[in-house]
Structure 1
Amino acid sequence: MLANIQGGYLTPPSFSQIKRFVEWNGENFEWVLVVVLCAGLMLSSWHNDRVTKMVVEQPQRNDFFFVDYFAIDDDSDAKYRYVPMRVLEVKDGSIVFKVGNVGQRTKLSPTKHVKADRAMHKNFYRTGTLELSPTRITELFESDAIYAAVRPRNIFINGWVVMKLSEL
């Protein structure tokens, strides 16, 4: 142990204890690196889940939801089912979405969905809109049909342009 607590007082580690700890980490650097990377991945995943839950519970205009659209509309293409949806309007009893026109075969991260400023392309969204109740959105989130959600602070999501400045 690097520090001792005796009688309610914290005793700092001695120089030899610090030296031994540094030497051990130097000899086992690969294992320390693996543990740090795993902890970082777990923390990142936890953070992304918390952000998704927060956005789903309190949607705002210009939020992006990433969904399994086949769970919403079983007449849609089951092969290319993972699409982005952008919140256009939050009403009292419903939320209006602009649905993405480009589906993916697998769940992609929000960054990969909007990579290369895809959201700025003319045919990125379908012409119509979709209106869902908050209850339905909660059901979709709990069933994992909504697998990610992002609230952009400006016109970007992770460096990729997703909307015009005039749309803020």
Structure 2
Amino acid sequence: MKPTEIKERKMIVFGTRGRTIAGQEMIEGVKCPNCGNTQHATFGILRYFHIFWIPTFPTSRVAGIMCLNCKGTFTDEEIPGELGRQIRSSVFNRKNTLPMFAGLAIIACLMIFAMITSVIDDRRDIEYLGKPEKNDFYIVDFTKIFKDADSEYNYGIMRVKSVSGNMVELMVSKIGYMLSTGPARDIDKGKAKKNSYYAGETIHIDISGLGKMKEDGAICSVERR
């Protein structure tokens, strides 16, 4: 049995970005090479790594000054070393930078929530597998069930056709996906309810073995609608 292949890719957006942070003080004594003015405002350029545009950690901090007369700007290489350190210390303080990385707390909360949800879902799946019902959907990894399954398009659906004694009869989908979200979407959209979604052959499995298939990763999740 070789399912129809459907290619599906999941994109994670990440990279680096930068933000200018205004300083809180004016400095004197540094001569602007453009106009000769000696009064400058301070600022900093904070670059950071992001995931889905949520700042996660800083990658660089650059000190800068802006001439209050001609608005010319100068950064690290053009600023005396000690002055650059003072500017970085005053600009990149907790008040200015911590709020930018509040997204880390959000990510941490989402991860904890996902872990708790996963545990609850696993317990529910084990309960469903112990007492299967007609039209239960099993999102499965075909490579852990069939020797000739495509290793790239390996996720599909097995639907309970009937339950008799200790045996469950399962219909096998014709379609294989690269990600388990593909079969889940077909269930949500009602495609997996149609008998034409499945191959003509069915397989019979002892109910006592379904839990082991879940432990081994052959059954990824169970949907009961």
Task: Tell me if both proteins adopt one fold, taking TM over 0.5 as the criterion.
Answer: yes
Aligned counterpart, 2:161: 88
By relative contact order (CA 8 Å, sep 6+), the higher-ranking structure is 1
Greater per-residue strand proportion:
2
AA aligned opposite 2:135: N
1:43-122 equivalences under 5 Å are: 43-108=116-181, 111-120=184-193
Q: Could you say if the C-alpha distance between residues 44 and 89 of structure 1 is closer, same or farther in structure 2, counting changes exceeding 3 Å? A: same
Q: Distance in 1 between matches of 2:102 and 2:167?
A: 53
CA drift of 1:130 comes to 1.2
In structure 2, give the amino acid aligned to 1:39: I
Contact 1:51 1:150 in 2 (8 A): no
Distance 1:40 1:49, change over 3 A: same
The Cα RMSD (Å) is 2.5
CA deviation profile, 1:15-61 (whole Å, cap 9, x unmatched): xxxxxxxxxxxx79645534432332222222222222221122111
Structure 1 position 132 matched with structure 2 position 205: yes
Q: TM-score, normalised by structure 2?
A: 0.48
Amino acid at match of 1:43: I
**For the residues of structure 2 that align with 1:31 and 1:73, how far apart are their CA atoms?**
42
**Aligned pair in 2 of structure 1 residues 88, 105: CA closer, same or farther (>3 Å)?**
same
Cα displacement string for residues 66-116 of structure 1 (whole angstroms, at most 9, x for unaligned residues): 111222221233332211011111111310011111111233375324354
Local SS of the residue matching 2:175 = coil
| TM-score normalised by structure 1 residue count | 0.62
| SS, match of residue 66 in structure 1 | strand
Whether the aligned pair in 2 keeps the contact of 1:66 and 1:82 (CA below 8 Å) is yes
Aligned to 1:145: 218
The separation in 1 between residues aligned to 2:183 and 2:118, in whole angstroms, is 13
Q: How many residues align?
A: 126
What fraction of aligned residue pairs are identical, expressed as a percent?
Answer: 24
Equivalent residue number for residue 13 of structure 1 = none
Letter in 2 for 1:52: D
Q: Distance in 1 between matches of 2:103 and 2:178?
A: 36
1:148 aligned partner, one-letter code: S
